[in-house]
Amino acid sequence: MPIDRTHSTGNIWEERYGYSRAVRAGDRIITTGTVSMHENGTAYTPTGPGGGRVQATRCLEIIERAVEALGGKRSDIVRTRFFVTEIERADEFGTAHRAFFEPVGHAPCLTMVGVASLIAPGFLVEIEAEAVL
């Protein structure tokens, strides 16, 4: 299926590695792996107690904005994938997921995988999502 539109947030990795934050192809929107960033493009990496939940929530907010920019909404998201550096903090990441999607009344598929590291130090979670309009 051909790409209809793309969305970029302008972060340093999008430019350096030549990718889009999200791509719309027909009725599907797919987001790339998203880490927790401030609006100004700097890392947002609280790591203390609850830091996993804070980072996951920020990732989901960035994803939601990308989906909206391509004509979708939070309730269109049907799948998420979490890549986490500290799987023992699964409850922090999982409760952020639940809290984010609970207001729209549905629970997308969720995969959570433990990984050795992410793109830069301090990131605890990277999230991808897929939406169907």
At 1-33, the pLDDT tens digits run: 778 889 988 888 888 899 999 999 999 999 999
pTM of the full predicted structure? Answer: 0.95
Confidence at residue 12, expressed as pLDDT on a 0 to 100 scale: 81
What would the two tokens of residue 38 be? 């401030």
> Domain residue spans in the chain?
5-132
Eight-class DSSP state of 34:
B
- In Å, how far are 8, 56, 60, 78, 104 from 72, measured between CA atoms? 15, 20, 14, 12, 13
Q: What share of the chain is helix, strand, coil (3-state, %, to 5)?
A: 35, 25, 40
* Among 88, 76, 77, 78, CA closest to 112: 88
CATH topology of domain 5-132: 60s Ribosomal Protein L30; Chain: A; (3.30.1330)
Angle at 44 between CA 40 and CA 6, to 5 degrees: 55
- In Å, how far are 12, 35, 128 from 41, measured between CA atoms? 7, 11, 18
Q: How confident is the model at residue 39 (pLDDT cuts 50, 70, 90)?
A: confident
